[in-house]
Structures are given as structure tokens and as C-alpha cells.
Amino acid sequence: MKVSINPITQEVCQIPSVLNDDQNIDNFLNHNRGKKVVVVQGLGFVGAVMSLVCANSLTEEYAVIGVDLAEKESYWKIKSINDGVFPLVADDPKIEEFFNRTKKLGNFLATYDPKAYKHADVVIVDINLDVKKTLKENGALGSFNVELNGFKSAIQTIAFHCKEDVLILVETTVPPGTCEKIVKPIIENELSQRGLSLKYYRLGHSYERVMPGPNYIDSIREYPRVYSGTTLESANAVEMFLKTIIDTSLCDLTRLEHTNATEIAKVLENSYRAMNIAFAVEWSRYAEEASVDLYSIVNAIRVRKTHANLMYPGIGVGGYCLTKDPLLASWSRRNFFQSSSDLDMSINSVSVNDQMPKFAFDRLIQEFGDLGNKRITFLGVSYRGDVGDTRFSPVELLFVLVKNTGAKILLHDPFVTFWEEQNCSIESDLSKVLNSDPDLVIISTGHNVYREEHTIKKLLEIDACKIYDTIGLLDQGQISKLQTKHYISVLGRGDLK
Ligand SMILES: NC(=O)c1ccc[n+]([C@@H]2O[C@H](COP(=O)([O-])OP(=O)(O)OC[C@H]3O[C@@H](n4cnc5c(N)ncnc54)[C@H](O)[C@@H]3O)[C@@H](O)[C@H]2O)c1
């Protein structure tokens, strides 16, 4: 018997042995008779919330079916949605509001049965497309490769079941060239084999800029979008659909001429950010060597509008996107467009960013000495503030390195109850971890709760210890207050004494 464990509740779900969900799908469609059907492929951080946005469309009453895999990593999401519990923890009240509305209307079903695609007027592809990386001992990037097989088979599944006039909208971040060179041929080949016309299907690309966190829903619904189609008719169909879910009175839709262009736009956007961060890393080391505070330098420069997005230093780059998207771009350049060159600066940015947690660790040892037997509390394991997402979190490498010293570690995160990658539970009671008499507190994630006044007050109540702020969360006033009792060190701020 196969099971899937819900990482939020630890509930153990049995995966059905016969993967036929016809009855539930039929009941759902009967209940939603007359509505257009949107099927979202992939119920992860993007697809689950995109499903809510579609089910709460601005202009249409859609019946939304979310499809994920009946696998141990993902089946729990399907079960959780159908049990009425949204499978994500995030600090956006609109998520609950939107989900409650779908429960009231009965217009959102989750399933593992790919037969759902045969009912779809629109299929939105929100699955993962991974890059496999090997790292060198110092954390630098070794080699990497793009794993296209899972993506290809997902498209194949859609093409095997879909109607001949379906609109397929790819939102997954893909190596540029994918819609034209991979998706289109698979769909056309399959439709032809099924004896269907190739005239009526529509295929487009519109990448996600969703930002998990307090504005999760609005970062889809009220955020500018870039889109394209493989034909003029496809681009028009994508535009019409997007206008039903995106509030175009608040944000623009920008059409680009080709799917290659929108695909490049996505990876360029993220490569730009990854490079900006890598740039800050190099300068933060320099600033520390020169014993100056890079935060105040960056603030002074940021007043120039042309330099307003210069980044601050930090513990590293995490999450699913910035750690891989520059590599997708470089891979596509060589493999889809036969270039003999890589995107060297973009690749290097990933490598520099991947090494940051190791640097944060080395600096820690340099400053605090041997950590063996010390009691160390980490504040935050998520890769980003106010989000329960630990994928490729830079905290992980720092945690592993600190753990290997023999230190006794307590982990806190308000958004993560179980850290899947490290297979351990996470404490959610902040008082408990701070009252554990730590020798060192490492501020590792920018959750807002850590900068709130009550947290600073709590920190002032505990015995004198060392505080290592790896992300520049504390402001100058808070540092001054805490320095009256504790020793404070901030990555990138040079010598604070
Ligand atoms: N997370 C973000 O903040 C974010 C932001 C912008 C863009 N993106 C991009 O959006 C895409 C999805 O990201 P995510 O964070 O939601 O990933 P995720 O890993 O959280 O979710 C992907 C889901 O797709 C499912 N899946 C895989 N193959 C499937 C198949 N054949 N049929 C049905 N389901 C399948 C997986 O089981 C998983 O649940 C990626 O390309 C990512 O780069 C993510």
C-alpha cells in the first residue's frame, strides 16, 4: 500500500490503488453544469493558488479541476483540497477567503485522474521542470542538466486526452524554445494520431510572477503579465482568458511576438535578480574586509532612481526559481538554439549565490570560534520571509554545517511545522525556543514576526548571548537596543563594536 504524508499536519494518506476518479469528476461536472472547465496541471505553490484565482474569476464562473500525481510527494495535496484544507501555509488572508468561496460554490475539485483533461476548455500547465545540479565541495556549481522527461510526459498526458479546441496555457518556467520545440510537436502528433484536427487547438505561454507571501493572490490577480501564443489566434485566446482572471484595470497585459520571447523574458527576469544578488555578495565581503556597513552604503546609493534596486547582502538565494532559472536559459541557448556559448555571467551568479551559506558559516566560525556543544537557535528555515517553502532554502546548508560542529540546535519557523528536506520537526512557539537559554541565536529567515517589537522585547529578556543576523533583518535602532545586552553580528555590516 502506497502512502503520502501531509508535511503540514503529518496526516498519513493512503494512495488509492485503482486510479479512477470518474465518479467524483462526473458529480463535480454535473454540479457545475454549463460552466467552462479550467484544468490546472500541478497543485504546487503556483498551481494551487492559480486554481483559486481561476475559481474566483473576475468575469466568469469557471469549474476548476486541479490535477496532480498520485505519488507519495504529491497525493496529500489532492486529499487535503478535497477535505477542505488548503495545502499551503502562507500569510495571505485572501487564500482562505478564496478557498472558502470555492467550497461554498463547489467549483474546485482536485484529482489524480488525467481523464479530467478531456473536459477542459482551458488547461494551465503549472508543473515543475527541474535542473539537476552537482555542487563542488566549497558549494560552487559543478555541472548541471535540465530534466525534460517529466515535463514531456505531462504534456503528452494532456495531448492524449484533450479536446481538439482546447486552449493550453503553459505557465511553467521552461528553457526558452520549449513551447515551439517540445510542447507543440507533442500536441500535434497526439491530436493527429487521435484523428483530430490541428486547426482548433490554441497554445500559449504566460509565465508566473507569483510571490508566495502576504500578497500571494494579488501577485497573480493584480500583477502585470507577459504572454504570447504560437499563432495570432492562440495569442488572442490567451489574452481573452487572462482578462477573465487578471484585473486589467490595475495592471497591464503585454503581448510578445513569440513564445520564445516570453520564455526568454521569464528567465532573463530571474537571471537579472540572481546576478544582482551575486553582485551584492561580492561587495558585502569587500565591505566586511574594509570594516564598513554595506547596508548603509546601499541605502545611500539607492536614493538614485537608476540604482534603486541594488540588493543588500544576505545568507544566500533559495527557493525553486532563482536557483535554477539562469541555468535553464544557458541550457536552452546551447541545446535548443545550437549556440556554442553559455550564458557565463548568469551561470556564475548561481554559483556565487550557492556558496553564500558556506561563507555565512565560515564567518560565523571566524567570529564565534568552536560551536561544538553550544546551544544554537535558528530563527527561520524557509527560504523567504513569511512563506512556508523550504525548497533549496539557503538555511539548509548553514544548518547542516552548524550541526556538523556538534552544536545543539533548536529550529523555529512560524510557517513550517516539518522540514521535509531535513526530516525534522520545527518548533512554532517562539518563546519556547528563546527561553531555551541559547548561546547563539541565528536570524536566518526574514519572517516579519522576528522584527516585531515583542520579539525584540523577548530577546532582551533572555540571558546575554550572541545574535548572528545573516539577512540584515534588524534595523539600526533594534541593533542598538539589543547591543545593551547581547553581542550582535550582522552579515555585511562589518564591525559593529
Ligand atoms: N514557487 C514560485 O514562487 C514560482 C514563481 C514563479 C514561477 N514559478 C514556476 O512555476 C512552476 C511551478 O512551480 P511550483 O513552485 O508550483 O512547483 P511545485 O513543485 O510546488 O509544484 C509542481 C506540482 O506539479 C506536480 N506535477 C508534476 N508533474 C505532474 C504531472 N504530470 N501531472 C500533474 N501534476 C504534476 C508536482 O507533483 C507538484 O505538486 C515552475 O516552473 C516554477 O519555476 C514558481
Q: Which atom of ligand 1 is nearest to the CA of 71?
A: 37
What is the arithmetic mean of pLDDT over 60-83? Answer: 97
What's the pLDDT tens digit per position in 117-152?
999 999 999 999 999 999 887 778 999 999 999 999
What is 7-59 written as a DSSP string? TTT--EEEPPSS---HHHHHHHHHHTTTS-EEEEE--STTHHHHHHHHHT-SS
| Ligand 1 atom at shortest distance from the alpha carbon of 154 | 31
When pLDDT is averaged across residues 81-85 and rounded to a whole number, the result is 97
Rounded CA separation 111/65 (Å) = 7
- pLDDT (mean) for 150-155: 98
Centroid of ligand 1 to alpha carbon of 47 (angstroms)? 7
Beta bridge partners of 109: 65
Residue 373 near residue 408, CB atoms below 8 Å: yes
Residues flanking ligand 1, CB < 6 Å:
41-47, 67-69, 74, 77, 126-129, 150, 154, 157, 172-173, 208, 210, 212, 320-321
* Backbone CA torsion sign across 465, 468, 469, 475: positive
Q: Does 216 score more than 80 pLDDT?
A: yes
> pLDDT band at residue 312, thresholds of 50, 70 and 90?
confident
Find out whether 260 and 333 touch, Cβ atoms under 8 Å: no
**497: CA distance to ligand 1 center in Å?**
45
pLDDT exceeds 60 at position 9: yes
Please tell us whether the domain made up of 258-497 is placed in CATH 1.10.10.10.
no
- Measured CA to CA, the distance from residue 146 to residue 347 in angstroms comes to 14
Taking the centre of ligand 1 as the mean of its atom positions, its distance from the CA of residue 242, in whole angstroms, is 19
pLDDT of 378 above 70 = yes
Q: How far is the CA of 129 from the centre of ligand 1 (A)?
A: 7
b/e burial code for range 67-106 (CB count within 10 A of at least 16 → b): bbbbeeebbbbbbbbeeeebbbbbbbebbeebbeebeeee
Is 142 within 8 Å of 135 (Cβ atoms)? Answer: yes
Site to probe by mutation for ligand 1, drawn from 21, 52, 126 as the one with most ligand atoms within 8 Å of Cβ, is 126
- pLDDT of res. 495: 64
Q: How many Å lie between the centroid of ligand 1 and the Cα of residue 103? A: 23
Q: What is the pLDDT of residue 497?
A: 52
Q: For the chain, what percent of residues have pLDDT higher than 70?
A: 99
Q: For residue 237, give the nearest of 169, 156, 161 by alpha carbon.
A: 169
Are 173 and 319 in contact, with CB atoms under 8 Å apart? no
Distance 44 CA to ligand 1 centre (A): 5
> Whose CA is closest to atom 11 on ligand 1?
172
Q: Whose CA is nearest to atom 39 of ligand 1?
A: 44
Residue nearest to atom 10 of ligand 1 (CA): 172
User: What spacing in Å lies between the alpha carbon of 97 and ligand 1's midpoint?
Assistant: 23
- Boundaries of every domain in the chain: 3-257, 258-497
Task: Give the distance (Å) from ligand 1 centre to CA of residue 292.
Answer: 41
Q: Which atom of ligand 1 is nearest to the CA of 73?
A: 37
- pLDDT, residue 52, reads 98
From the candidate CATH numbers 1.10.760.10, 3.20.20.70, 3.40.50.720, 3.30.1700.10, the one assigned to the domain spanning 3-257 = 3.40.50.720
Q: How far is the CA of 478 from the centre of ligand 1 (A)?
A: 38
Atom in ligand 1 nearest the alpha carbon of residue 209:
6
Here the cell at position 11 is 496526516
Ligand 1 atom at minimal distance to the Cα of residue 174: 41
Q: Do the beta carbons of residue 396 and residue 390 sit within 8 Å?
A: yes
If you take atom 37 of ligand 1, which residue's CA is the nearest one? 74
Q: Can you tell me which atom of ligand 1 is nearest the CA of 172?
A: 41
Ligand 1, atom 1: closest residue by C-alpha? 45
What residue's CA is closest to ligand 1, atom 21? 44
pLDDT confidence of residue 203? 98
- In the prediction, which pLDDT does 219 show? 97
For residue 442, give the nearest of 380, 396, 387, 400 by alpha carbon: 380
| 0.85 exceeded by pTM | yes
Q: How confident is the model at residue 496 (pLDDT cuts 50, 70, 90)?
A: low
C-alpha 188 to ligand 1 mean position (Å): 24
pLDDT digits (tens, 9 = 90+) for 234-249: 999 999 999 999 999 9
Model confidence pLDDT, tens digit, residues 249-305? 999 999 999 999 999 999 999 999 999 999 988 888 888 889 888 888 999 999 999
For ligand 1, the distance from its centroid to the CA atom of residue 111, given in whole angstroms, is 16
Kindly give the distance from the C-alpha atom of residue 296 to the centroid of ligand 1, in angstroms, as a whole number.
37
- Contacts with 116 (C-beta within 8 Å, 6 or more apart), sequence order: 21, 25, 39, 65, 67, 161
Cβ atoms within 10 Å of 35's Cβ, excluding its own: 17
Which of 4, 49, 68, 415, when mutated, tests ligand 1's pocket best, judged by the most ligand atoms within 8 Å of its CB? 68
Strand 37-41 and strand 63-67: the pairing is parallel
Q: How far is the CA of 41 from the centre of ligand 1 (A)?
A: 9
Instruction: Say whether 258-497 and 3-257 share the same fold.
Output: yes
Indicate the average pLDDT of the chain. Answer: 95
pLDDT band (50, 70, 90) for residue 6: very high
Ligand 1 atom nearest to CA at 157: 31
Which of the listed residues 71, 155, 208 should we mutate to test ligand 1's pocket, taking the one with most ligand atoms within 8 A of CB?
Answer: 208
Atom 7 in ligand 1: which residue has the minimum CA distance? Answer: 208
